Structure 1
Amino acid sequence: MGDTVLAVLRDPLFAVALSLVLAILASRVGGCVVKLLLGVGAVAAFIWLLVRFEPFENVVVAIIGVLGTLLVILLICIAVVALAAIFAVHAMHRTAASGTPGRRPLAFPRPAGPVTDRSILGRLEARHSRVAELETHLVTIIEAVFDIEDDRLTRMIGNITRAFFSGLSPYRADLTRLHTEINAQLLDLAGELPPHFTGVDSLRLRTIAATRSYLLTKSEWDEWSESHGTGFAYLFLRLLCLHRDWRHIGTIISKCQHTTALLDECLASL
């Protein structure tokens, strides 16, 4: 028997056949075939154990039951969070639509008389440019927070979740500085504009500057977004503002937009 085996192993044809088999297994196609056979064998072994051994069947059924229960609980939690978010956005939308004290529609400023101080035009243009710089800085921060380059879905979801909950943490000092500066711009305009323009509510400007959380109403956002975006951006902003840090950045954006709209009206009236 041993001599027969040795004779077969020494046969050149056997060596050629074995080399072909090994070459196929070493190739990409061969590796896929081997993986497929192993996968089919594993499935067959699993089914055989499930059919022939009752304890194994009980264990599998118990595991599937636990996983199913966890999946149902997870779906219920997601549904509850989604409903809470929808109701929160709806409540904020109704509040914004109904308006709050001191949030009247923006009046159209008009020069109070002949403009003799022509330097007011340069000062307003300089303020307009500075507010635009603040908005550009905010956009840079948002782009940095949502800089997602990974194409994998799970990694992308994780990055978006991290950006929402803790993405603004490194920028809190910058946001505080930007908020302080836009508040200062509003307070300066409250004192500078009334002598030169009618229709400017200085009390409202001071109220906006003193407010920690100030978001554009739906009508204000629609008016601004006619040339800048769509209504979906407002819903996205409201969803983001459920988090405190994003409500902070939303407040700064809203104050910048209000200031820009007021400066545009003043410059257009000159």
Structure 2
Amino acid sequence: MSQQTNWVPTTVNIDKPSAARMYDCLLGGSHNFAVDREFLEKILAVQPEAKRFAIMNRAFMRRVVLFMLDQGIRQFLDLGSGIPTVGNVHEIAQGVDPRARVVYVDNEHVAVAHGQLLLEDNDNAAIVQADITQPGLILTDYDTQRLLDFTKPIGLLAITIGHYVLPDQNPYGVFATYRDALPSGSYLAISHLTNDFATVKADELTEIMKSSQNNVCARGRDEVLRLFGDFELVDPGLVTTSQWRPELPDEDDAPERDGLYAGVAQKH
């Protein structure tokens, strides 16, 4: 029972499903509740590929971190990191270089509580509890400033977080603030739910998510590209998650099954 209370803060809302906890469930994690699993059944009834969306996105994140490490990046800011399940950013980065530094950001109480437990003995990683739509608070946070050197290139990860920033929350302004804070040589990685593919059923997913803690806004290709600002996309540009530098040849001829656009761009 004591282990249970470690990751379930008294402030957590277990009456409404959470995107972070549902993502954890899709990836086979255990930090979710019955309300999350029941809600996932509704999502899967509309979009049976939702688990593929999550798995392909997680694999994209891993390849992105390894790519950035290859480019010499040794510090990462992970926006909307969710619940740190196996194969998270600090495990990947510090597996290559133990000195790599990672700051996670999330506003979901379970994600933060579990992240704090996971990182309590890790001097080079921390989790900040904050809403990513408040970049000023995140960029000036004690742990952000302690771990990240903003005079050296940073890997900014916005993996499946942009679609949770709704139009009335000024998504392009929010992303611009983060981009402006990064020094030259930094990279920005984005994956984002799209409404460009009929098979994604973005309208239905948007409607369903209104009953959860996290509303979503799917966007088209041009809208997702705009989040990168004037950063230069690296090859292969903006594609779907499984199509971004796959480790093995992808025999799937329907990349829209990924559900998400994905890309990485560099600041010059």
More strand by share: 2
Larger RCO, structure (CA 8 Å, separation 6 or more):
1
Q: Return the TM-score normalized by structure 2.
A: 0.22
Q: Return the TM-score normalized by structure 1.
A: 0.22
